[in-house]
A = this chain, B = another copy of it.
Amino acid sequence: MSETDQIAKPYYLFVGDISDEVIAKTALGIVQWRPSDCLAQTDASGAIDLGLPRMSPQAAAASGARTLVIGIAPAGGALPPAWISAIVEALEAGLDIASGLHIRLDAIPEIAETAARHKRQLFNVRIPSRAFAVGKGLKRTGKRLLTVGTDCAVGKKYTALAIHRALENKGIPATFRATGQTGILISGAGVAIDAVVADFVSGAAEWLSPDAPADHWDIVEGQGSLAHPSYAAVSLGLLHGSQPDAFIVCHDPARTTMTSTSYPVPSISRIIDLTIGMGRLTNPAIACAGIALNTSKLDEATAHDIIGETQRALGLPCCDPIRFGVESIVEELL
């Protein structure tokens, strides 16, 4: 994704008319991890507060914003027709556009023509800009950690970023490996793994975390869930290709059904069993290194209780990476 290195900052974050924070996770992720790269926001619903000043595209451009980032991730990644006029307005105001949607911005004639007329750039960070080989299943040097989940959008990216930051703070060599649009926009590199042709998913994951020094950790952002009826194929290819030594199960205890389905959220134990059962194919030493709970919907006392209960029940370190840090998991890892 060399293209993404060239995206001009600061960002003007666009969340359309979305009012669901789960769907606005791209915008929330960027502002959480790179606040100094974010200048302003716009949300037609008024329901998504990113903690940034709300501006028109003209005002954002006048204040120094360089790129409108489409900060939403609806299922399937299509672009609602109603948002096209807002994107055209931003191009006319002088902004580039970066999108993590499946559809190419330049496939929409009105957007392509306006960008050409105003000499603005369109970045499709979700569309891989290179070809991949099929997976080989060969062992690579260095150590790898993968975050997995009981569902989509339960904190796999946040957990990976938090563990990466904690390792760097301890002086341990580590690289965050982004596999989704938000991670790519945060880190400036990676592969949108769910946009890779199915035959090459494990090969792309192998390419993403190449041979490395023996003491180096690749911290690979997970995707989907092995138990999700829509996305398990992506999760499995990523698991086989990244051949992790360690994995962290990410889970939201307040959620009852998996995203965009009526399927119940599986137990943490079920995901541990599935991940070891399938993952040992390419790394027989795979082991669960901890549990990351997303307790954002619980009060602090309840959060501490459920973290303690989970830790005792499973005999593994447990934390909420965003709320209480990842120290216990990183200690176990080292």
Cβ–Cβ < 8 Å partners of A8 in chain B:
none
Does A44 count as interface, using CB distance less than 8 angstroms? no
Report the bound CA distance from A232 to B137 in whole Å: 11
Cβ–Cβ < 8 Å partners of A195 in chain B:
197-199
Give the residue among A230, A274, A281, A282 with the most B Cβ atoms within 10 A.
A230
Report the bound CA distance from A136 to B260 in whole Å: 8
* A174-215 residues at the B interface, CB under 8 angstroms: 193-203
Q: Are A194 and B198 in contact (CB under 8 A)?
A: yes
* Chain B proximity of A203: nearest CB distance (Å): 7
Report the bound CA distance from A329 to B298 in whole Å: 53
Q: Are A199 and B194 in contact (CB under 8 A)?
A: yes
Q: Which segment of A49-57, A88-96, A234-242, A303-311 sits at the interface?
A: A234-242
Q: Are A240 and B229 in contact (CB under 8 A)?
A: yes
Does A314 count as interface, using CB distance less than 8 angstroms? no
Of the candidates B134, B202, B236, which one forms a contact with A75 in the assembled complex, judged by CB atoms under 8 Å apart?
Answer: B134
Report the bound CA distance from A196 to B135 in whole Å: 16
Q: Are B199 and A102 in contact (CB under 8 A)?
A: yes
Knowing A76-B133, A134-B76, A261-B137, say if A232 contacts B197 (CB, 8 Å): no
Cβ–Cβ < 8 Å partners of A226 in chain B:
278
Residues of chain A at the chain B interface (Cβ within 8 Å): 75-77, 102, 133-137, 193-203, 226-227, 229-234, 236-237, 240, 260-261, 263, 274, 277-278, 281-282
Task: Identify the 3 closest CB pairs spanning chains A and B, nearest first.
Answer: A137-B229, A233-B237, A194-B199
> What are 28 contact pairs spanning A and B, CB under 8 A?
A75-B134, A76-B133, A77-B199, A102-B197, A102-B199, A135-B230, A135-B231, A136-B229, A137-B230, A194-B198, A194-B199, A196-B197, A196-B198, A197-B198, A198-B198, A198-B201, A198-B233, A199-B231, A202-B230, A202-B232, A226-B278, A229-B281, A232-B236, A232-B237, A232-B281, A233-B233, A233-B234, A233-B237
